[in-house]
Chain A
């Protein structure tokens, strides 16, 4: 049973617009969430994280929102750029899981110019 779900396999956005990537989780013990970006032939690259004590974390063009009651988080990219085209993975961890990351299946973002 998947504990971290990214229900949209793909997303297409125009350059300059907002990209919103969504992630749902089922394990209420998760207390730390991360987003990674992956280009072909490269390993995942850390983007941004959020602790469960917060509901928002911002870093430049990237903002992550956490809704604990809904067990939902989202990554907003504003403005989107063609170089943002990649696979985005949502990951979660808990004190029980230690430092093991539990990943979703990923969402492929395509930003067109």
Chain B
């Protein structure tokens, strides 16, 4: 049973560019959450998608947007990249909107130069 998968593993971009990160949830899961983990910090909640809609959003600017597809996979888009966007981006999947455990993928390491 495949767990949460993310692509790409690593990515290098320059300031002002746009990036798209991808996530496939664990089999049977329908909810995807995205987190940003800066160096030396804990993961910080960006937003959550359920039934192809953004259901919840953390304190992130509109440059961060996402999408969920009918097969529950998800994308995270970041526009107008800043140096401060350099971080590990984690995707987590769960079932429904209950308070159950979230399963995390290995993350995408984004470096903005």
A-side residues, CB < 8 A to B, are 4, 6, 32, 34, 36, 41-46, 49, 89, 91, 93, 98-106
Contacts and interface: CB of A to CB of B under 8 A. Distances in A.
The 6 closest A-B pairs by CB, nearest first: A103-B42, A43-B104, A100-B45, A46-B101, A44-B104, A98-B56
Contacts of B41: 105
Interface residues of B, number: 27
A42 B106 contact: yes
12 contacts: A32-B99, A43-B104, A44-B104, A98-B48, A99-B33, A99-B48, A99-B97, A99-B102, A100-B56, A101-B33, A101-B35, A103-B35
B65 interface: no
Nearest to B45: A100
A99 B104 contact: no
Nearest to A9: B40
A45 B106 CA distance: 10
A41 B58 CA distance: 25
Contacts of A93: 99
B73 to A, nearest CB: 16
Given A43-B106, A98-B55, A100-B58, A106 B42 contact: yes
A46 B42 contact: no
B68 interface: no
A29 B9 CA distance: 36
B107 interface: yes
Interface in B1-56: 4, 31, 33, 35, 40-45, 48, 55-56
Contacts of B101: 34, 46, 49
B27 to A, nearest CB: 16
Given A98-B55, A100-B58, A101-B43, 19 more contacts: A4-B42, A36-B104, A43-B4, A43-B103, A44-B90, A45-B104, A49-B101, A89-B42, A98-B48, A98-B56, A99-B31, A99-B33, A101-B33, A101-B35, A101-B102, A103-B35, A103-B42, A103-B43, A105-B42
Nearest to A104: B42
Nearest to B47: A100
A102 B106 contact: no
